[in-house]
Structure 1
Amino acid sequence: MSSSFVPVCRQDLAERGIGEVDFVFVSGDAYVDHASFAAALLCRLLESHGFTVGLLAQPDWKNVESFREFGRPKLGFFVSGGAMDSMVSNYTANNKPRSEDVYAHGGVAGHRPDRAVMAYCAAIRQAYKGVAVMIGGIEASLRRTSHYDYWSNTIRRSILLDSKADLLMYGMGEHSIIEIAEKLRAGVPVRQIRGVRGTVWYTSKAEEIPEGAIILPSFAEISGKDDESKRKFAESYLIQEQNTDAMNGNVLVEPVDSRFVVQERASLPLTTEEFDAVYELPFQRRWHPMYDSPAENGKTGVPALSEVQFSLTSCRGCFGACSFCAITFHQGRRIQSRSHESLVREAVQMTKDPEFKGYIHDVGGPSANFRKDACAYQKERGACQNKDCMGTNPCANVRVDHSEYVELLRKLRALPGVKKVFVRSGIRFDYLMMDEDRTFFRELVRHHISGQLKVAPEHVSNNVLRLMRKSTHEVYERFSAEYARINKEEGKKQYLVPYYICSHPGADLNDAIEVALYLKKTGFVPDQVQDFYPTPGSLSTCMYWTGLNPRKRNADGSFEKVYVPRGGHERRLQRALLQFNRRENAPLVKEALIAAGRRDLIKVLLGK
């Protein structure tokens, strides 16, 4: 269809003169040839190392012939569920089917199967007996060991076992996918690949367990619903979180039935030079032409591209380590940054795009203003295993410096053809407030906001914020006041849009009432409220399942107990309190206030 894109069909191979591919890459997303889409990035990376690749984007998992499009690959299949866990992509936090999929053609839902990695692997095994199958991406990464599965309300085994794949890659996959590909090219059988950082494999032989590995509680010990099983699950999660860093993490082994699931140490972070090189591969920065025709809903293209087409990814990783976020488990706490020169080159390329209107929509990553490691120790020793960088009590060793980020933004907005450079991805306002130099704060307000700044205080209750590993509410209030002051001094009318999460572990109705009263006082009631979503791989999900906080022990050594809002009704009550001004929420708000013994607030919140 187009020789400038990664091959998506036999015709593409014929045009390139390729008779047989080394790898077939299966993705749960439609194909967008942009560095922000992992399938495109990894396929381009494999091509740059001399491998031939065919990309199956959202294949029909019900038709085995879809997986025979390129024939049997010489070396194997790489399988990813896509940019999101397929269950998160297909269902809301209240387990309702989603009406659209922004990573699909035209945004049409239904082209990605539930538990996509398992569905794709089953089809591949049916298509080709004995072919090497390797899984990766967010769905595999966060399910690499036994995990709580919200949709079945059970503990499931490692997806490596359930998918019947040969090898799993976790975390960011550039290093591991190339090392694996080279080993396969050298003739190493896939089930004999060992010692590759960022991979998980299994064995039935105890003598194959690497020396010095940490043995996790077994699947049998953690999979029950009794208190002891949940305590063991929390213990297992804590060990895993303590060993996510490439510098100081250990090999982990989880006994599952008669087998042992072995997690190698995490991949080393990309160097700046490697990060630059990966993002400067020859991407077309477009969806594949096959999506130019209308989808079932009459729309063309892939909606997810609009968020990133004119944005710059400047960093990876996040030492904020919010409890509800799985970035710590997937990307890690170490910060990886691209060079100014690489980002400027990409921006210049962007300005030559006929669709570019002069606006760079974002320059950032998981946390836009994290461009360096949290402290001087991390580069040599890795992120601390038992100490948080941020949260309600930030570490005294955190070095706060926005000067390099300010310099980058100045270079970008000075480029010919650039009218405005926005920063929209995850400004950490707590980190910003730790900086005594207000240069970045002032330039952010003056140059980099489009009418409103979105930030994530998440809650008002300091106890809930502690469990979330977020800064205190007082920090947000100081930030909000200073934001208003600087805007006034700059002659700007730019609003602050805070995000809140309801029904997080630790939050009861009284905590939700506290948020409602604060919103009433400030005059801001959010249009959108995020219901806590217990996705695999997060500390908050561990707390949701177990009712325990493994990061804090009582005097007797037991884990701190945590209240957990369960059931759809209580979640609806908390959500209604955060949106108390909606007429349809009035009955729920009244019910919540009565249940909490706060009838005195009915008139305050409802005006009657």
Structure 2
Amino acid sequence: MATKRSGPAFSEPRRSTANAGAASVSGPQPGAKPKAQSRSLAEPQPGVLTGPLPHKEQPLFVPMSAAEMHALDWDSLDVLFVTGDAYVDHPSFGSVLLARWLIHHGYRAGIVAQPQWENPDDLLVMGRPRLFAGVSAGALDSLLAHYTAFRKKRHDDAYTPGGQAGARPNRACLVYANLARRAFPGLPLVLGGIEGSLRRVSHYDFWTDSLRKPILMDAKADLLIWGMGERATLECAQRLDAGEDLRGIPGTAWLDKLEQTADGPRPANLPPEMAQAPCVPLPTHEKILADPVKLLTMTQELERQVHRLDAWAFQPVGDRAVVLARPAPPLTTQEMDALYEIPFTRRPHPSYREAIPAAEMMRTSITSHRGCGGGCSFCSLALHQGRRISSRSEDSVLDEARRLGQENMARGKGPVAISDVGGPTANMWQGYCALDRAEITREGHAPSADISTEQSSKQHSAAHAPADAPAKSRCRRASCCYPTVCKFFTTPQNRHVGLLRKVAALPEVKQARVASGVRADLALRDAAALAAYTGEFTGGQLKVAPEHCATGVLSLMRKPPLEVFEAFLASFVRQSKAAGREQYVVPYLMSGFPGCTDDDMRTLANWLRQRNWNPRQTQCFIPTPGTIATAMFYCGKNEAGEDIYVARTDAQRLRQHGLLMPGRKPGDEDGNRPRRGNEGHARKVDANARRHAPSGRQGRDARPDTRRDARSDIRHDADATQSRPPEKTGHKPGRQGNRHKEHGADSRRLPAPGRRA
């Protein structure tokens, strides 16, 4: 077995244990002449990765070529990561973070970023990895990155050199997994990232208007890591290093055969530790095809499974099943600090000749925490990161701010302006459930509830209870903030303000801002914190997400009522005047949400006109896999099982969007600025979009238009919102003729993404 580094001293170089007989398919062996590389994998400037390894034995950059690997005195890799993003050495890039996390624990990891997908040559440049290959589509779902809400091809990609679209295929997880299997036969293959994570069970695919099977049924992979993957990725490496089975790792999924038992069909080969654990059986894929409402039922069950932490789940698909191990517990503060202590350069890999837009956007931002207690029905973040908050310590954040300032000053630019200190919601830093802090007994009894009902109190206690507490003490509440902020959800915003002030006071820092947005209902609970956010840490504009103003729509979104936002807005204006600053709230708004009617959109348009607001942050709902809102879009019912209207066709969606964006052409740039009353054009767009939707069988045919309006301070894409019910009665999405075939049809193929020279 290979020697592992156990302390600050670097161990003797490892020797690959790859089978010599696989040389023809495993890439260059140690000492072999490396293959010529594609432009995306160009060699760095001479000597850039040479010299002694910095802090904690981390290389300056994770190697992307054989030359870089050999410069570190490595003859082979333990783990290879394949990603759809360019390589920017920043903790916001998941594959980079995981690669450095493994290096931190003594493994040798390399990265292949945005490989060509016609053949596996790019994956072979560093040879066959010893343990496994990890595959991710990147920071975004590849189809969401390629197309707008109206299925128009995007022209830009912020995660690609030069901002050019076309560097990754449609359904990148499937394509890269196939490449890795061709390159490394017999090597364990692990999927990860948000694209695979949200497709771990049967899911509605907006791009083909069909119900697709779990991604593991299509991908040539052995394991799927869902959610945040640091713990699971490290455990995969450790188990394979020890010759152990990968099944049962928390936060993972795999395929198994079904067997008949007294309790019905069950996975045949469960790890012993799962046999007696709580289990959540999910509706079969075939039952969901027959009854779309079961997709909503399954999504609700999965949401509860994610939040309770102790239960595993499985979904039968034919004679097999996708088995979901219990969720991985959130990282502790100590683990978060260790992650962000890794010395990232925060720069693109030196092989790139063009700037990467995302690198500059993220360069001066600091992640203070993960997770979001909001539980909005359209947001995949709570499903991916979890509802519990994992926060870094104050010292860890201050250390990173100092490093950023010192690097900026070393380049002669003076103290740094920190663009953001936050997370999914800035004012949830160090947020926690009081019931998690042992304020309930082991039997799950809670103090009397005063915010909604005793039942909601018990529900919330369970989702935030310690991992080893009995199941009955676990919260079943879907959101910590809806319908009202739970009294057990504690957000010490005064501490966050104190942290921001300490960051701003550092000699290496010119100023600190909050750009990730604040939650209005939480901010209203602490007037002093709201005054500080407004008067000290807002750079002229503060992002807030009311999303809508119609009560029924807000309820379906799990958002607070309009009165909460208006109270926040009044306080913001008052505090801004008191501080002598001219500042603005930038509201995020949605059109096309399930349950939103044209009249609801007119109500929203009138509300905006009354305030003389010209919305720039309007999005049209895109049903992304795995969310409650997408399930409502698919089945045409709300969470209570009641029928709702869904703007399902592109014509209906364009009409709704046009009510908020009058006078803008439907095909203008992003394809998300329709004119009011232009319904003939909307029908044409709808027909064309359906004719060009991406095929479920096609691997490399899509690319996005992520271009931003130059006048907009934040985003102006129409592609992250929500939708409506069909005009035809009895409509069953994904079940109308050939173009609604399961797994898509050629008649719905979208235009292919641009190709690199």
Q: Please indicate, yes or no, whether the TM-score normalized by the shorter chain is above 0.5.
A: yes
Q: Partner residue of 1:330? A: 384
1:220 aligns with 2:286: yes
- Write the distance in 2 (CA, Å) between the matches of 1:330 and 1:463: 26
CA deviations on 1:67-107 (whole Å, 9 max, x unpaired) are 21111111110111100011111111111111011101111
- Superposed counterparts of 1:591-606, under 5 Å: none
Q: Partner residue of 1:342? A: 396
How far 1:589 moved relative to its partner? Answer: 4.5
- Write the distance in 2 (CA, Å) between the matches of 1:304 and 1:290: 16
- Write the distance in 2 (CA, Å) between the matches of 1:504 and 1:347: 39
1:308 aligns with 2:362: yes
Q: Taking CA–CA contacts closer than 8 Å with sequence separation of 6 or more, which of the two structures ends up with the larger relative contact order? A: 2
How far 1:249 moved relative to its partner? Answer: 4.2
1:568 aligns with 2:650: yes
CA deviations on 1:208-239 (whole Å, 9 max, x unpaired) are 24434221111111124xxxx11222111111
- Superposed counterparts of 1:122-521, under 5 Å: 122-188=178-244, 192-206=245-259, 207-209=268-270, 210-211=274-275, 212-224=278-290, 229-245=291-307, 247-291=308-352, 293=353, 300-353=354-407, 354=411, 355=413, 358-378=416-436, 381-383=462-464, 384-433=475-524, 435=525, 437-521=526-610
Q: Matched residue of 1:148: which SS? A: strand
How far 1:125 moved relative to its partner? Answer: 1.5
CA deviations on 1:263-293 (whole Å, 9 max, x unpaired) are 00111111101001101112111000011x2
1:87 aligns with 2:153: no
- Write the distance in 1 (CA, Å) between the matches of 2:503 and 2:109: 35
CA contact (8 A) 1:374 1:389 kept: no
- Closer/same/farther in 2, CA of residues 582 and 130 from structure 1, 3 Å limit: closer
CA contact (8 A) 2:174 2:218 kept: yes
How far 1:307 moved relative to its partner? Answer: 1.7
Q: Partner residue of 1:65? A: 121
Q: Matched residue of 2:582: which SS? A: coil
- Write the distance in 2 (CA, Å) between the matches of 1:538 and 1:133: 26
Q: Matched residue of 1:265: which SS? A: coil
Q: Partner residue of 1:75? A: 131
What is the TM-score with the length of structure 1 in the denominator?
0.90
- Closer/same/farther in 2, CA of residues 569 and 13 from structure 1, 3 Å limit: same
CA contact (8 A) 1:452 1:496 kept: yes
Code of the aligned partner of 2:653: R
CA contact (8 A) 1:508 1:565 kept: yes
- Closer/same/farther in 2, CA of residues 587 and 363 from structure 1, 3 Å limit: closer
- Write the distance in 1 (CA, Å) between the matches of 2:210 and 2:511: 48
Q: Matched residue of 1:377: which SS? A: helix
Q: Partner residue of 2:633? A: 544
CA contact (8 A) 1:195 1:264 kept: yes
CA contact (8 A) 1:544 1:564 kept: yes
What is the TM-score with the length of structure 2 in the denominator?
0.73
Identity of aligned residues (%): 40
CA contact (8 A) 2:485 2:521 kept: no
- Write the distance in 1 (CA, Å) between the matches of 2:336 and 2:63: 24
C-alpha RMSD of matched pairs (Å):
1.8
CA contact (8 A) 2:201 2:213 kept: yes
Code of the aligned partner of 1:7: P
CA deviations on 1:94-152 (whole Å, 9 max, x unpaired) are 11111011101111100011000100111111222211100101111111111111111
How far 1:379 moved relative to its partner? Answer: 5.0
Q: Matched residue of 1:178: which SS? A: helix
Code of the aligned partner of 1:441: L
Q: Partner residue of 1:600? A: none
How far 1:586 moved relative to its partner? Answer: 9.2
Q: Matched residue of 2:489: which SS? A: coil
CA contact (8 A) 2:654 2:674 kept: no
- Write the distance in 1 (CA, Å) between the matches of 2:98 and 2:565: 39
CA contact (8 A) 2:427 2:491 kept: no
Q: Matched residue of 1:319: which SS? A: coil
Moved more, 322-331 or 208-217: 208-217
CA deviations on 1:26-61 (whole Å, 9 max, x unpaired) are 011000001111111100001111111121001111
CA contact (8 A) 2:86 2:161 kept: yes
- Closer/same/farther in 2, CA of residues 591 and 21 from structure 1, 3 Å limit: closer
Number of corresponding residues: 568
CA contact (8 A) 2:429 2:491 kept: no
Q: Partner residue of 2:452? A: none
